[in-house]
A = this chain, B = another copy of it.
Amino acid sequence: MTPHHLDSYFKHVDGLQDKFIDRLREAVAIPSISSEDARRPDVVKMGEWLAAQIRALGGTVELRPLGRQPGREHLDLPPCLLGRLGDDPTKRTILLYGHYDVQPAQKSDGWATDPFTLSIDDKGRMFGRGSTDDKGPVLGWLNAIEAHQKAGVELPVNLLMCFEGMEENGSEGLDDTIKSEAKGFFKDADVVCISDNYWLGTEKPCLTYGVRGCNYYSVEISGPGQDLHSGVYGGLAHEPMTDLIKIMGSLVDPDGKILIKGIDELVAPLTDAEAALYPPIAFTMQDLHQSLGNEVAIHGNKNDALMHKMRYPSLSLHGIEGAFYTPGAKTVIPAKVIGKFSVRTVPNMEIDDVTKLVHKHVEEQFAKLKSKNKMKFNIVHCGKWWVENPNHWNYTAAAKAVERVYGVQPDMTREGGSIPVTLTFQEQLGKNVLLLPMGSSTDAAHSINEKLDKRNYIEGTKLLGAYLHYAAGEPTS
Residues of A within 8 A of B (CB): 211-212, 214, 216, 218, 223-226, 228-239, 241-243, 245-246, 248-249, 252-256, 288, 291-299, 305, 308-309, 312-321, 323-327, 329-335, 340, 342, 344, 369-373, 380-381, 415-418
Which residues from chain B contact A242 at a C-beta distance below 8 Å? 252-254, 256, 316-317
* Contact among B214, B245, B319, B416 with A334 in the assembled complex (CB-CB below 8 Å): B319
* Contact assessment for A318 and B342 in the assembled complex, using a CB-CB cutoff below 8 Å: no
- Distance (whole angstroms) from the CB of A364 to the closest CB of chain B: 14
Please name 6 pairs of A and B residues whose Cβ atoms are closer than 8 Å in the assembled complex, sorted by A: A218-B329, A223-B296, A236-B299, A243-B254, A316-B331, A318-B333
For residue A404, give the distance in angstroms from its CB to the closest CB of chain B.
29
A218 — nearest CB in chain B belongs to which residue? B329
Question: What's the Cα separation between A356 and B234 when bound, in Å?
Answer: 21
Interchain CB contact under 8 A, B234 and A344: yes
Residue of B nearest to A250 (CB): B249
Which residue of chain B has the shortest Cβ distance to A288 in the bound complex? B236
Contact of A237 among B296, B381, B417 (CB under 8 A): B296
Query: Contacts of A325 on B, CB cut-off 8 Å?
Result: 319-321, 323, 325
Taking a contact as CB atoms under 8 Å apart, the answer to whether A235 and B318 are in contact is no
Cβ-defined contact, B321 with A232, below 8 A = no
C-alpha spacing A231/B245, complex, angstroms: 23
Chain B residues with Cβ below 8 Å from A313 are 235
Q: Copies per complex?
A: 2
- A329 CB to nearest chain B CB (Å): 5
Q: Give Cα A331–Cα B235 distance, bound, in whole angstroms.
A: 34
Residue among B294, B324, B417, B418 making CB contact with A225, cutoff 8 Å: B294
Q: Report B-chain residues with C-beta under 8 Å of the C-beta of A315.
A: 234
- Asked if A296 and B241 sit within 8 Å, CB to CB, the answer is no
Interface pair A236/B298, CB less than 8 Å apart: yes
Set of chain B residues within 8 Å of A312, measured between Cβ atoms:
235
Given contacts A214-B231, A293-B225, A296-B223, contact A241 B326 (CB under 8 A): no
Within the assembled complex, what's the spacing in Å between the Cα atoms of A229 and B218?
18
Docked Cα-Cα span, A241 to B339, in Å, equals 12
Complex CA–CA separation, A232 to B226 (angstroms): 38
Residue of A212, A223, A319 with most partner-chain B CB within 10 A: A319
Most chain B CB within 10 A, of A228, A314, A325, A326, is at A325
Residues in B with CB closer than 8 Å to A318 are: 230, 241, 323-324, 329-334
B324 and A340: CB pair below 8 A? yes
- A324→B321 CA distance, assembly (Å): 7
Q: Closest CB of chain B to A417's CB: distance in Å?
A: 2
- A230 close to B316 (CB less than 8 A): yes
The docked-state distance in angstroms from the alpha carbon of A312 to that of B436 is 64
Tell me, rounded to whole Å, the shortest Cβ–Cβ distance linking A179 to chain B: 24
Contact of A333 among B249, B316, B320, B321 (CB under 8 A): B316
Residues from chain B with a CB closer than 8 A to the CB of A293 are 224-226, 335
Please name the residue on chain B nearest to A334 by beta carbon: B319
Contact in complex: B370, A309 (CB < 8 Å): no
Is there an interface contact between B231 and A254, defined as CB atoms closer than 8 Å? no
Q: Which of B298, B380, B416 contacts A231 (CB 8 A)?
A: B416
- Residues in B neighbouring A234, C-beta threshold 8 A: 314-316, 342, 344, 416
**In the complex, what distance in Å separates the CA atom of A342 from the CA atom of B333?**
11
* Contact residues in B for A248 (Cβ distance below 8 Å): 245, 249
Q: Indicate which residue in B216, B291, B321 contacts A331 across the interface (CB closer than 8 Å).
A: B216
Residues of B within 8 A of A308 (CB): 235-236
Q: Are A235 and B320 in contact (CB under 8 A)?
A: no
Collect the chain B residues with CB atoms within 8 Å of residue A228's CB.
292
Q: Are A417 and B232 touching (Cβ within 8 A)?
A: yes
